[in-house]
Amino acid sequence: MKEQDLLLVALTIALGDPEIAEALLKAFSKGEVETTELIELLDMSPADVRRILYRLHDLNLAFQIVRKGEEGERLVFWVLNKKIAPSFVEKRLERTKKVLEEEIKVEEGGEYYVCAADPSHIKISFEEAAFGPESGFLCPVCGASLIPVDREKAVEKIKEAIRLIDVLLKEMKHD
């Protein structure tokens, strides 16, 4: 995987927004960038830009350089830490894989129900569906019936995600 691709993945993971990650990568293409320049390039409020930069700083994906301007003013420049991106992405993928492996155990160990009208409303255990405060196998969000989750299908989807993570990790180790 190319350095730019890994950096884009790292920024997307860190910020949760691929559009902002791509805009940042483009803004940093020339190296260090002053905070005020980033505010203009990203067309965001100063507070939002600083929040993003400090988030990246906390994750060691960016660092700042402070210089004095010609008139003695404080100028803050930011630089992306390109060297940390591969290990950042690798650690996040490993962590996600562990969470997914635990999710397989949960799925295999119980019976779950989802809303028949919109499965994104809720996913609850048999005990909650039958005996909980919203019992009667009805969705507490919309009142529709709850239907059992196909455990085999759910587990297979999780295993497919794990296989994809394994492929990515293998590819990263060979680059």
Tell me the pLDDT tens digit for each residue of 9-33.
999 999 999 999 999 999 999 899 9
Instruction: Check if the beta carbon of residue 22 is closer than 8 Å to that of residue 43.
Output: no
How much is the pTM?
A: 0.76
Quote the tokens at residue 21: 């990650």
Each of the 175 residues of the chain gets a pLDDT tens digit; together they read: 688 899 999 999 999 999 999 999 999 998 999 999 999 999 999 999 999 999 999 999 999 999 998 999 999 999 999 999 999 999 999 999 999 999 999 989 889 999 999 999 999 999 988 888 767 899 989 989 999 999 999 999 999 999 999 999 998 887 6
The amino acid occupying position 45 is: S
- So what's the pLDDT on residue 160? 97
Question: What's the CATH code of the domain at 58?
Answer: 1.10.10.10
Q: Assess whether 170 and 94 both reside in one domain.
A: yes
Q: Which residues pair with 115 in a beta bridge?
A: 146
Q: Assess whether 135 and 67 both reside in one domain.
A: no
Q: Assess whether 111 and 60 both reside in one domain.
A: no
Range of the domain at 74: 3-83
Q: Assess whether 71 and 10 both reside in one domain.
A: yes
Which residue is listed with tokens 């994809």?
164
SS3 label, residue 81: coil
Q: Assess whether 170 and 125 both reside in one domain.
A: yes
Instruction: Check if the beta carbon of residue 153 is closer than 8 Å to that of residue 104.
Output: no
Query: How many separate domains does the chain show?
Result: 2
- Comparing CA positions, the residue from 21, 20, 26, 23 lying closest to residue 8 is 21
Q: Assess whether 79 and 100 both reside in one domain.
A: no
Q: Assess whether 47 and 117 both reside in one domain.
A: no
Q: Assess whether 63 and 125 both reside in one domain.
A: no
Q: Assess whether 48 and 102 both reside in one domain.
A: no
